Amino acid sequence: MYKLYLLSFLSIVMAQVAFSQTFEKELEFALQKKPKFDFRLDSRNTFISQNGVRVFGFKFGVDYNRTLSFGLGYNQLLSNVKRDVYHHGLEQSAKLSYYYISPYIDYTFYRDSKWELSIPVQLGIGEAFYEYSVNNKPVDFAKGFMFSYEPAISFQYKFLSYFGAGAGVGYRLMIVNNSNVKEQFTSPVYLFKFKIYFQDLYQDLFLK
C-alpha cells in the first residue's frame, strides 16, 4: 500500500511538472506572435443572497495566438433586486446597485479550428450600494468598495468565421465586502460569452 501511495504521488508530481513545462512553452510561443484585438460580451448568471441575478459586461484587450488573452472589462448588475432598508430613520424600498471594473486573463489550453477550452480569471474592483427615489430624484447610500476574484472554466465555438459563442462555470469569491450592504455576494457563477474576431474580419474585408 505504501508503494502504491508513493507511486501515485510521484505520478502527480511528474504530471504537474510536465504540464508546467508545456504551459511555459505554449505561452512563450504565443507571446512571440503578433497580438490581435480582443473584444467580447459577457453575461453572468449568479446569486446574491440566494436570489438569482444577471450581471452583464464587456471586455476588450489583446489576444496572442488564440492561447493567451488579457485586458480590461466592465460589469454591472442588471437584475432588479429590491430591499426594504432604513435610511434617515425611514423605511425605504431600495434597489441594489453593483458594478465593477474587471482586469482579466484567459488561458486557452485546448483549441482546434472551431472549439476552444479555456480558463478565464478576472478580478472585480467596484462598488455596491442601495438606491431609491425622492421626488423623482435618485438617492444612493451605503456605498462602499468591493473586490472580488472570479476563476472559471469555459468552452467556446467559432462560427461564421468571425464570431464565437460559449459558456462556462466559475465562482465569485469576495475578498473585500461592503459591510454596509447586507448581502451575500460570494456565489457560483454561470457565464455566457460572445466574441468577435475583429482581426479575421478586417483581413477578409480590407486585405483580400
Residue 105 pLDDT exceeds 70: yes
CB 23 within 8 A of CB 1: no
Judge if 70 and 20 occupy the same domain: no
Examine the domain organization and report whether 3 and 39 are in the same domain. Answer: no
Q: What's 110's domain CATH number? A: 2.40.160.20
Looking at residue 7, its pLDDT comes to: 47
Q: Which domain holds residue 19?
A: 1-32
87 and 155 in a single domain? The answer is: yes
pLDDT at position 59 is 94
Is 135 in the same domain as 147? yes
**Average of pLDDT values for 65-76?**
93
At residue 196, the pLDDT reads 83
**Distance between CA 170 and CA 191 in Å, rounded?**
8
Q: Are residues 3 and 91 part of one domain?
A: no
Instruction: Give the total number of structural domains in the chain.
Output: 2
- Whether residue 20 sits in one domain with residue 61: no
**Can you give the pLDDT at residue 44?**
93
Res 16 pLDDT > 50: no
CA atoms within 13 A on the CB side of 120: 33
Distances (CA, A) of 18 to 95, 173, 195: 50, 30, 31
Q: Per-residue pLDDT tens for 123-153?
A: 999 999 999 888 788 888 899 999 999 999 9
Task: Name the phi and psi angles at 5, rounded to 5.
Answer: -60, -45
Q: Which residue has the higher pLDDT, 203 or 81?
A: 81
Within 10 angstroms of residue 95's Cβ, the number of other Cβ atoms is: 17
Does 11 lie in the same domain as 66? no
Asked if 83 and 154 sit in the same domain, the reply is yes
Domain match, 27 and 115 both = no
Q: Quote the pTM value.
A: 0.80
pLDDT band per the 50, 70, 90 thresholds, residue 208: low
N- to C-terminal Cα separation, the chain:
65
CA dihedral 30, 34, 40, 46 (to 10 degrees): 30
Are residues 172 and 145 part of one domain? yes
Let me know whether 48 and 135 are in one domain. Answer: yes
Q: Are residues 19 and 40 in the same domain?
A: no
pLDDT tens figures, 18-65: 445 566 777 777 788 888 888 888 899 999 998 999 999 999 999 998
Q: Give the three-state DSSP class for 176.
A: strand
